[in-house]
Structure 1
C-alpha cells in the first residue's frame, strides 16, 4: 500500500473514532485543510475544526465509497452520516443543535509528503448540508 493511501485510510479511521488529535497528527505543522466552509491552516487549527465538528455531530460515521491514488495524492469518494445533536461553531457564532439527521456525499484529495498531509482538499454540497440541517428553506422560488 502506498503512503498517501495508508495515511488517507488512517484519517477515515480517526474520523470514525472521533479522535481529532489523531487526525491532527497526520498533518504537517503547516498542513492545510480546504473545504467549502473555509480553509484551516496548521495542525492546531485542523484539530480544533474536527473537535468542533465531533461536538456538533457526536454520532458521525463515515466511509470511503471509492478510493484511488496518483503519486503522492489519495483521492476518495466518501459518505458520512450523523445527527446534529450538539452546538455547531461557525464563523458567525454558535448555532444550537438542530437535531436533524445528515447524510452527505463528497470527495477529497489528500496530498502527502514525508509521511504527513500537506494539502487536503474537500468537496461537498454545502447548500445540501445546510438544507438537511433545516438552516435554509428546502425549496427556493424566484419571486
Structure 2
C-alpha cells in the first residue's frame, strides 16, 4: 500500500463512524484482524464484536459526530487524533458496565493507530479518553 491508499482507507473509516455505519467500518478490516481498545477488556477479533462495540457508542450518543483533528500517514499505517461530540441520551456500556443516560453533551477525544495490508486493516489500536468523557458526564471526579 502507499500513503494515498492508507489515507483513503482512513477517510472511509472516519466517515463510517461519523455516519454510524458499523458495517462499512468493519468491511475495512481484513480476515484475522486484531483490534485493541482501552475500554474493552478483551481484543476485538470478529466483525460481529466490532459492530457491537460501535453500536454501544451509537446507543449512548445517538447524535455522535466524529472528525479527525490530526493525522500522520505512513506507507502501511496511520495515526490519528479524533474529536467526537454527542449528547448522552442512551445507556453507556463501557468496560463491562452499563450507566444510564445523563442527558449531558460531551466533546471527547481519542487517538488510534491502524496498520493495513492489501487494502485492509490488520491491526487497530484505539484509545478513547474515557476519563475525560466520564468527567464531562458527571460520572467521575467531584461531580460524580
TM-score, length-scaled by structure 1? 0.87
Indicate whether 1:59 and 2:83 are aligned. no
**Equivalence for 1:98:** 102
Which residues of structure 2 form unaligned runs of 5+? none
Alignment match of 1:24 (pick from 9, 26, 51): 26
**Equivalence for 1:6:** 8
SS at match of 2:44: strand
Distance 2:94 2:81 in 1: 25
TM-score, length-scaled by structure 2? 0.87
- The number of residue pairs the alignment matches comes to 140
Alignment of 1:69-108 (within 5 A): 69-108=73-112
Which residues of structure 1 form unaligned runs of 5+? none
Q: Which moved more, 1:33-42 or 1:69-78?
A: 33-42
**Equivalence for 1:33:** 35
On the 8 A contact 1:28/1:42 being kept in 2, the answer is no
Q: Which moved more, 1:56-65 or 1:104-113?
A: 104-113
Indicate whether 1:109 and 2:129 are aligned. no
* 1:91, distance to aligned residue in structure 2 (A): 4.3
| 1:48-90 residue CA offsets vs partner (Å, 9 max, x unmatched) | 1101211111011011112221120012122111111111223
Q: CA RMSD in A?
A: 1.9
Distance 1:115 1:26 in 2: 8
| 1:75-134 residue CA offsets vs partner (Å, 9 max, x unmatched) | 212211111111122344432111111111232111111111111112243211211121
Distance 2:32 2:138 in 1: 35
- Runs ≥4 in structure 1, deviation > 6 angstroms? none
Alignment match of 1:132 (pick from 133, 136, 141): 136
